[in-house]
């Protein structure tokens, strides 16, 4: 793959320390994610995320990760954590996505690869998507055949079990606009490895790959 346009978008997720945020920024990521799912080992309080977010330069998205959260909860945490972006797992109402977008947040709808066919058949307007394994944040890649040969037509992130070792192969197989990683850049569950963050970003950038689809203008 030779680079002809902008680089593949990279999001590192589940950060909770200054050192890991600084490692992501230094490596040149496009987005840093904070997990607000209460039972997650990676959960951070919104105020802690706001403090960490002060180390993130403008232009890098500060993403809040939610699972089955109400619109009121997402709004409240987005304000307290100073988020630019919300990543919505679980049951997600279309009206909530539209409302959050209208309020200036940048929603990413997370779908399991297995549910993508049903989503695609619903012919919704363009929105940013993340295709993930059945259990988010578990470090397990999804079976590519679950997509039935289809893939999103707009901006979309590939997630689920990515690592510095497999990300190039997964990009080549699925041609996403960007990639999202959490477990694969950890030394143990919930503990980010600064060396693996750098190795992951280096591996993606070394492909010279360009995103396959532009981000929908309405989502910018
Ligand atoms: O990280 C969690 O514990 C988590 C909990 C609930 C919903 C989402 C969660 N994480 C999302 C992510 O970390 C990533 O967006 C994605 O699932 C990739 O995770 P991984 O397979 O660990 O790289």
The protein residue whose alpha carbon is closest to atom 13 in ligand 1 is 137
Tokens 């470090």 correspond to 139
Cβ–ligand 1 distance for 37 under 6 Å, the answer: yes
Tokens 């309405």 correspond to 218
Q: What is the DSSP letter of 28?
A: T
Strands (E), the chain: 9-12, 31-35, 61-67, 85-89, 106-112, 128-132, 156-158, 178-181, 186-188, 191-192
The protein residue whose alpha carbon is closest to atom 9 in ligand 1 is 137
Cβ–ligand 1 distance for 159 under 6 Å, the answer: yes
Q: What is the pLDDT of residue 123?
A: 74
Walking along the chain (220 residues) 10 residues at a time, the average pLDDT comes out as 66 98 98 98 98 98 98 98 98 95 97 92 87 96 90 95 97 96 98 98 86 49
Q: 3-state DSSP: the chain helix, strand, coil percent, rounded to 5?
A: 35, 20, 45
CA–CA gap between residue 170 and residue 163 (Å, rounded): 10
Instruction: Measure the N-to-C terminal CA separation of the chain; round to a whole number of Å.
Output: 26
Structural contact between residues 1 and 172, judged by C-beta atoms closer than 8 angstroms: yes
The helix/strand count (H/E) of the chain reads as 7, 10
- 127: number of Cβ within 10 Å: 21
Alpha carbon of 109 to ligand 1 centroid (Å): 13
The protein residue whose alpha carbon is closest to atom 4 in ligand 1 is 137
Q: Which residues are catalytic?
A: 13, 132
CA–CA gap between residue 180 and residue 11 (Å, rounded): 5
Alpha carbon of 182 to ligand 1 centroid (Å): 6
108-119 burial: b if 16+ Cβ within 10 Å, else e: bbbbbbeebeeb
- Using DSSP bridges, classify how beta strands 191-192 and 186-188 pair: parallel, antiparallel or unpaired: antiparallel
Q: Of all atoms in ligand 1, which is nearest to the CA of residue 186? A: 22
Yes or no: is domain 9-209 CATH 3.40.190.80?
A: no
Q: What is the pLDDT of residue 62?
A: 98
Structural contact between residues 137 and 42, judged by C-beta atoms closer than 8 angstroms: yes
pTM score: 0.93
Cβ–ligand 1 distance for 162 under 6 Å, the answer: yes
Structural contact between residues 57 and 27, judged by C-beta atoms closer than 8 angstroms: no
Complex ipTM:
0.98
CA–CA gap between residue 146 and residue 64 (Å, rounded): 27
Mutating to test ligand 1, I would choose from 10, 14, 74, 156 the residue with most ligand atoms within 8 A of its C-beta, which is: 14
Structural contact between residues 124 and 102, judged by C-beta atoms closer than 8 angstroms: no
Q: What is the pLDDT of residue 148?
A: 85
Domain ranges of the chain: 9-209
Alpha carbon of 4 to ligand 1 centroid (Å): 30
CA–CA gap between residue 166 and residue 140 (Å, rounded): 12
Cβ–ligand 1 distance for 10 under 6 Å, the answer: no
Alpha carbon of 124 to ligand 1 centroid (Å): 24
Q: What is the pLDDT of residue 220?
A: 37
């Amino acid at each position: 793959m030779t680079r002809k346009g902008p680089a593949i978008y990279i999001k590192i997720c589940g950060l909770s320390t200054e050192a890991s945020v600084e490692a992501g920024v230094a490596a040149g990521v496009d987005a840093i994610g904070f997990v607000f799912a209460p039972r997650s080992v990676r959960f951070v309080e919104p105020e802690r995320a706001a403090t960490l977010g002060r180390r993130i330069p403008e232009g890098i998205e500060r993403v809040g990760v939610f699972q089955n959260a109400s619109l009121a909860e997402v709004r409240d945490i987005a304000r307290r954590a100073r988020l630019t972006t919300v990543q919505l797992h679980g049951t997600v109402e279309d009206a909530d996505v539209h409302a959050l977008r209208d309020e200036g947040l940048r929603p990413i709808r997370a779908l399991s690869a297995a549910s993508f066919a049903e989503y695609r058949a619903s012919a919704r307007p363009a929105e940013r998507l993340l295709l993930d394994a059945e259990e988010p944040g578990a470090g397990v890649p999804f079976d590519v055949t679950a997509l039935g040969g289809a893939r999103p037509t707009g901006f979309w992130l590939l997630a689920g079990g990515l690592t510095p070792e497999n990300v190039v192969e997964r990009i080549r197989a699925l041609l996403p606009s960007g990639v999202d990683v959490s477990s694969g850049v950890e030394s143990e569950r919930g503990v980010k490895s600064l060396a693996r963050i750098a190795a992951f970003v280096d591996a993606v950038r070394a492909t010279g790959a360009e995103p396959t689809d532009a981000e929908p203008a309405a989502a910018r």
